[in-house]
């Protein structure tokens, strides 16, 4: 098994990661926005996935020094490289899965 492919799916094959990535494909988001878009996922889980995605260099956490502080999550260039994967999943889902 290709080690790189395995590494990629160690990241992508975790629950919620695909949905988080799709949400960020639409641009930077706040934590609360993502939590609202994926209601079944706990905030503790979202924090955990963000840590993993930041460690993997796929997501960047941007802090705006305003009052109150504003924090946004965005895809890095490496993260934006996953757009084709997200699109390919969407195309398959639209063709093969019931509404």
Q: Which helix (H) or strand (E) holds 34?
A: helix 31-37
Q: Which is nearer to a second copy, 5 or 64 (CB)?
A: 5
- Residue 2 in the binding site for a second copy (CB under 8 A): yes
Count, residues near a second copy per rule CB under 8 A? 39
Residue 23 or 72 having the CB closest to a second copy: 23
The helix-helix angle for 43-55 and 17-25 (nearest 10°) equals: 70
Angle of helix 17-25 versus helix 83-96 axis, rounded to 10: 110
Write out the residues near a second copy by the rule CB under 8 A.
1-9, 12-19, 22-23, 37-38, 78, 81-82, 84-85, 87-99
């Amino acid at each position: 098994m290709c080690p790189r492919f395995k590494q990629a799916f160690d990241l992508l094959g975790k629950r919620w990661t695909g949905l988080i990535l799709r949400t960020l494909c639409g641009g930077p988001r706040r934590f609360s926005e993502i939590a609202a878009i994926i209601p079944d996922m706990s905030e503790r889980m979202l924090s955990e996935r963000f840590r993993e995605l930041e460690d993997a260099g796929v997501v960047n956490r941007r802090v705006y020094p305003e009052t109150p502080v504003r924090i946004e999550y965005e895809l890095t260039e490496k993260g934006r490289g996953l757009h084709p994967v997200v699109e390919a999943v969407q195309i398959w889902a639209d063709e093969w899965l019931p509404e």
